[in-house]
Structure formats: C-alpha cells, structure tokens
C-alpha cells in the first residue's frame, strides 16, 4: 500500500476532526468530535467500495440523524445544524476518495466557519431591514441572473462592444457601493469606505470612483476629503496591480519596466498620506441612516459611456496604428489600465518596442486614467468633491509628468 492510497483517509481524518472539534465545543450536540470524524471516514470507505456502498452509507447516516432528532433529551426548538453537518462530513469523506480533494477541503473549511460564527451571522441578519434586503436582491438580479445571460462576445463598430463586460461594470459599481454601505453599517462608515477603496483598486478603480462619488452626492454627511483619500488609495493600488501584471507577462524585463512605475506609486502614496492627514483634521464622519445606496441608474449611464469610450479607443488604434503608441496609450488608459499594461509588457518582452517606450506608455495610460476618473467624479459626484479630488489627482499627474520627462 502506497502513500497515495492512504492519503484520502488521512485527510478525511483531519477534516472530520476539524468539524467535530467545533461541534464538541457546543453544549448541545448530537454528534461530537468522535462521531463526525467516524462519519467522514465512513464516507471515504463507502466511496472506495463503490456506488452501492456509498448510497447505503448515506441512507444509514441519514437514518441515524433522523433517529437522533427524536431523542427525549433534545431541547424543543433545537435546529438540525449538527445533523446537516454530519451528512456533509459523510459527503466530504466520499469526495476525498473520488479525488475531489480541493472541493472537500473547501467544503470542510466553509462548514467550520459557518458553524463557528453562528452568533455573528445571526446578529448580521437581525440588523438587515427591508431596504437592505431589497438592495441585495437588486444586486442578485443584475449580477447572478442578468449578467450570465448576456453574450460574452463583441459586436458593433470596430467589434469592441461586449455586452457581458459592459454590464459587468454596472454590477461592479452597484456591488462596491453596497459593500461600502454594509461595512459602514456593521463596523464604521470611515473604515467601510476605506475597505471599498482598497478592494476597488484591486477590482476596478473606475467603478469605485463612480460608486463612491454617487454615494457622496446622495449623502450630504459624507466627507469629501475622506472620499478623496479613498479614491487616491484605489488609484495607487492600480499601480501595484500593474506591477503584478508585468511580472506575469514580462518577468525577464521586469527591472527595465518596473522602477519608474514604482516611483509613481510611491509618489501617489505620499500624496495620499498628505490628504489623509488633512482628512483627519476635518470633522468626524457622521453615520447616516439613509438606507442602502441606489446607484443603479448612474451605473447604467456609466456603462453606456464606457461603451462609447471603448469605441473611441478602437478608432484611435485603427487610425494611428503603431505610429502613435503614446496617443493610443493615453486613450486606452482612459477606461482600462489592464489592456495597455499587458500589451506594452508583451511587446517589450518580444522586443517589439523598447523598455523606455513600454513603461512610458503604461505611465501615460495611468495618468489618463486619473483624468478620466476625475471627470467622472465631477460629473456624478457632489460639487464639494471636485476641489480636493482635482487637487489630489493634479499633484499626482505632476509627479507622473516629472517621472515621464526626467527619468534617465
């Protein structure tokens, strides 16, 4: 017998102990650490014996759990969490023998988390009101029902209109707004918008700009300085994402491309810290009880604008071709840093363009992206946001221009 043969059973033992340990810590349980571990091992052994044994084992575990529900020592009104966890433990053991180790581990981890954080989950659910649930339902509708139905292929002029990707931007804007609202609702509004900014920089800083700007316009209590800092954080993280993308497609030329972009990122960090210090001197951010955000209309309008800009980018590429690399980089960077980053890095790696042209194209795209986000914020956000955000982005772009022209 080799290690490969016994590995599923050892993992089943470990995962069973993990789930069982949590159940054992509860005062009232029908299955503890030993029972659930044995059930997980039973699932693994039954799967090894074949489908009939697997089915018989599932029926046996189900019968035992049903019988335990009639235990006279069981408290009235008690739920069936342990019984369901036991059945899932059986399935996890079977999945391990079926060579679905990753899924089994994910299920075991999710089960452990759900069991352990029962009180917190119940606390969250009790604080949700009808408006919150309606907002979640709206996000579910546009993200899990409408989005998968849209074709993920291109149409229209220059073959760049992709309904799936355009609607994905709408989903991101609504989702990020809702994320900031809920984190602010359950933790602290200031921390909530900061978290949304960090996540937004990793996902889409443009969508973050739209969502937080419209949120600030709807809520007069939201500090323009705080929103400015959050959008600066999101825009700074974009350059960290750019460096990661370069390492993926042009690792051998990373040192040739990265240093000027790192300098730009450091400069933006310094600008962000200055504005953060100013924001701390301003009045404390008050919690607003105005309900969840309703950015759907603004998100749809932005989606249409995004589609128009994509057509403009394609037209510029078609018109200027390889002779206008920087012009194309500027136009492309308006809405999408990923495209100009990946294409420039790939061309540097293949020696199609020099490293100097490559990092300058990416930097120009980054500055164009700041201009575009500033324009979007001025369009959909409140007037009080225009001055601090314009100043922050202007100083950031000045640093970028200095790097562009003075870097050796």
In angstroms, the CA 372 to CA 210 distance is 11
3-state secondary structure of 293: coil
Q: What's the average model confidence in pLDDT over 125-147?
A: 83
Q: What's the average model confidence in pLDDT over 5-22?
A: 85
In angstroms, the CA 16 to CA 18 distance is 5
Percent residues over pLDDT 90 in the chain: 20
* Residues 160-173 pLDDT 10s: 788 888 888 788 76
Q: What's the average model confidence in pLDDT over 232-238?
A: 92
| Integer CA distances (angstroms), 199 to 233, 235, 341, 343, 373, in order | 10, 11, 20, 24, 17
Lowest mean pLDDT among 131-135, 364-368, 394-398: 131-135
Percent residues over pLDDT 70 in the chain: 80
Query: Which helix H or strand E contains 284, and what residues bound it?
Result: none
The first and second tokens of residue 98, run together, are 């079926």
- List all residues 6 or more positions away from 284 whose beta carbon is below 8 Å from its beta carbon: none
* Residues 207-234 pLDDT 10s: 788 878 887 887 777 788 888 998 999 9
- List all residues 6 or more positions away from 343 whose beta carbon is below 8 Å from its beta carbon: none
pLDDT of 289 higher than 80: no
Looking at per-residue confidence, does 4 or 251 come out higher? 251
Q: Dihedral (C-alpha) 168, 174, 177, 182: value to the nearest 10 degrees?
A: -110
The first and second tokens of residue 222, run together, are 């939201």
Q: What's the average model confidence in pLDDT over 144-159?
A: 85
| Integer CA distances (angstroms), 326 to 106, 249, 264, 337, 396, in order | 46, 20, 18, 14, 19
In angstroms, the CA 342 to CA 362 distance is 9
| Integer CA distances (angstroms), 115 to 23, 62, 89, in order | 8, 20, 13
* Closest of 167, 177, 169, 250 to residue 212, by C-alpha: 177
Structural domain spans, the chain: 3-124, 129-406
Q: CB count, 10 Å around CB of 119?
A: 8
Tell me the pLDDT band of 77, cut-offs 50, 70 and 90: very low
Q: Which residue has the tokens 């009045």?
A: 283
pLDDT of residue 293: 57
């Amino acid at each position: 017998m080799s290690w490969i043969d016994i590995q599923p059973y050892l993992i089943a033992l470990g995962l069973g102990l993990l789930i069982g340990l949590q159940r054992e810590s509860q005062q009232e349980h029908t299955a503890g650490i030993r029972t659930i571990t044995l059930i997980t091992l039973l699932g693994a052994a039954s799967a090894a014996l074949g489908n009939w044994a697997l089915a018989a084992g599932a029926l046996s575990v189900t019968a035992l759990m049903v019988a335990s529900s009639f235990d006279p020592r069981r408290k009235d009104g008690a739920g069936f969490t342990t019984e369901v966890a036991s059945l899932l433990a059986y399935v996890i053991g079977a999945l391990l023998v079926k060579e679905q180790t990753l899924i089994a581990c994910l299920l075991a981890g999710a089960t452990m988390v759900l069991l352990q954080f029962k009180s917190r989950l119940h606390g969250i659910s009790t604080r949700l009101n009808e408006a919150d649930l309606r907002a979640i339902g709206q996000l579910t509708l546009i993200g899990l029902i409408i989005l998968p139905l849209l074709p993920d292929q291109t149409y229209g002029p220059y073959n760049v209109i992709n309904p799936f990707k355009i609607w994905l931007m709408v989903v991101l804007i609504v989702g990020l707004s809702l994320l900031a609202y809920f984190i602010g609702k359950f933790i602290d509004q200031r921390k909530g918008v900061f978290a949304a900014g960090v996540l937004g920089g990793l996902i889409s800083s443009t969508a973050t700009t739209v969502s937080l700007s419209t949120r600030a316009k709807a809520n007069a209590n939201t500090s323009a300085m705080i929103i400015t800092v959050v959008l600066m954080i999101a825009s700074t993280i974009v350059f960290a994402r750019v460096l990661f993308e370069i390492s993926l497609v042009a690792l051998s030329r990373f040192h040739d491309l990265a240093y000027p972009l790192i300098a730009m990122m450091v400069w933006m960090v310094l600008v962000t810290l200055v504005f953060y210090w100013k924001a701390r001197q301003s009045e404390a951010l008050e919690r607003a009880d105005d309900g969840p955000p309703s950015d759907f209309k603004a998100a749809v309008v932005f989606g249409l604008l995004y589609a128009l800009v994509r057509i403009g980018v394609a037209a510029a590429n078609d018109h200027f071709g390889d002779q206008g690399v920087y012009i194309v980089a500027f136009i492309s960077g308006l809405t999408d840093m990923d495209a100009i980053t990946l294409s420039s890095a790939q061309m540097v790696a293949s020696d199609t363009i020099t490293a100097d042209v490559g990092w300058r194209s990416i930097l120009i795209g980054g500055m164009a992206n700041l201009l575009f986000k500033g324009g979007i914020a001025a369009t959909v956000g409140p007037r009080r946001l225009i001055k601090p955000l314009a100043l922050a982005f202007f100083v950031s772009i000045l640093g970028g221009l200095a790097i562009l022209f003075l870097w050796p």
